[in-house]
Structure 1
Amino acid sequence: MDTNRLSKKIEDILNSQVTKEADAAQVYLSYGCWADSKGYGGIANYFFRHSGEERDHMMKVMQYIMERGGEVKITAIKAPPKSPKNLQECFEKTFQHEVDNTTAIYDIVNLAHDEKDWATYNFAQWFVKEQIEEEKLVMDLLDKLKIAGGPKASDESLFNLDTYLGQAPDDAPLARDASVNKPE
């Protein structure tokens, strides 16, 4: 008896997401190594933590595929991009990477909706919320770098930013959690 509750299309798109999450973990790992080589230990720590988070996302998708009776297919990932030229480029590339991942999550949601696969649709909603948070975190990084002086930031400003990121929480306040008493 076939117990696979996923269509071929859904199984394929979820397996593609497994690869995307593994790729994201590798990208963040490479950016962490780059940041460390430039003396940004706090920023490296931020990227290393987020590399682990991306692997956790990969595991969530893998577990879901298996729980629904599907087959997880592990594929090769591409080499991470070349090292950024500076912190501005690093954060901009990180943001673009998150936007691309959001698009991939929306593709899963749209396909699940079209196929009336409400279990997958519901499962993917966690990732929709997560991507809002991921994009917000990187937008905050870009804002903080801009305040520090952007590409022309002083060493002291970059030191303060590095220290902040080494201690910053791994989640961002979201609009859905805001209230009059707690706007952020």
Structure 2
Amino acid sequence: MNTNRLSKTMQASLIKQMTKENQASQIYLALGIWADSQGYGGVSNFLFRHAQEERNHMIKIMMYILERGGTPMVEAVEAPKQLPKNMTECFNLVLQHEIDNTNAIYGLVNQSMDEKDWATWNFAQWFVKEQIEEEKLALELIDKLKIAGGDRATDESLFALDKFLGDAPDEVTLARTSTADNPE
């Protein structure tokens, strides 16, 4: 008896999203390394925490596929292609990445509706809510940098921004314990 409750196309799409989340983790790691090499330990710590959060998202999808009787696969990811030249570019890369990920999540939602796969539609709603928060966070980073002076920010204002991000809460919870009402 076939116990896979996911269509082949939905399973393939979920695996693709797993890979996208894994790629996101690698992008955040690369950006964190860049920030650290520039002397921004607080920014790098913030980005490293987000790398772990993205990995948790990948595992959340992996566990869902398993719970639905499917077989997830870990696919190879590319090395990040672009490193920033400055903090503005770094935060813009974060925002662009989150927008791309939001669009991919919307694709899963649309596919689940087309297939009338209400379990996956319900599961994907957690990610929809998460992406609202992720895009908001990226926009707040950009706003904080603009307030600090953007590309013309003084060393003192960049130091304050770096300290602010370094002092942000450090704990990243396991994806398995997250819900739509409590994504943390």
Code of the aligned partner of 2:113: H
Measured after TM superposition, the shift of residue 167 of structure 1 is 1.4
Q: 1:14 aligned to 2:14?
A: yes
Cα distance in 2 between the residues matched to 1:73 and 1:121: 21
**TM-score with structure 1 setting the length:** 0.91
Q: How do 1:12-161 residues align onto structure 2 when only pairs under 5 Å count?
A: 12-161=12-161
Aligned structure 1 segments of 4 or more residues deviating by more than 4 angstroms: none
Code of the aligned partner of 1:113: M
| 1:29-76 alpha-carbon deviations (Å, 9 max, x no partner) | 010010000000000000000000000000000000011011111111
Cα distance in 1 between the residues matched to 2:31 and 2:16: 23
Root mean square deviation, CA, Å: 1.4
Q: 1:164 aligned to 2:158?
A: no
Q: Secondary structure at the match of 2:76?
A: coil
| 1:74-126 alpha-carbon deviations (Å, 9 max, x no partner) | 11101112321000000001100000000000000000011110000000000
Measured after TM superposition, the shift of residue 169 of structure 1 is 4.1
Cα distance in 1 between the residues matched to 2:169 and 2:90: 19
Q: Secondary structure at the match of 1:6?
A: coil
Cα distance in 1 between the residues matched to 2:62 and 2:82: 28
Q: Which runs of 5+ in 1 are unaligned?
A: 172-176, 178-184
Q: Which runs of 5+ in 2 are unaligned?
A: 172-180
**TM-score with structure 2 setting the length:** 0.91
Code of the aligned partner of 1:93: L
Cα distance in 2 between the residues matched to 1:51 and 1:13: 22
Length, aligned pairs only: 172
Measured after TM superposition, the shift of residue 170 of structure 1 is 7.3
Cα distance in 1 between the residues matched to 2:170 and 2:106: 23
Cα distance in 2 between the residues matched to 1:141 and 1:84: 15
Q: How do 1:165-180 residues align onto structure 2 when only pairs under 5 Å count?
A: 165-169=165-169
Cα distance in 1 between the residues matched to 2:2 and 2:113: 23
Query: Sequence identity, in percent?
Result: 63
Matching residue of 1:180: none
| 1:145-169 alpha-carbon deviations (Å, 9 max, x no partner) | 0000001100000000000011124
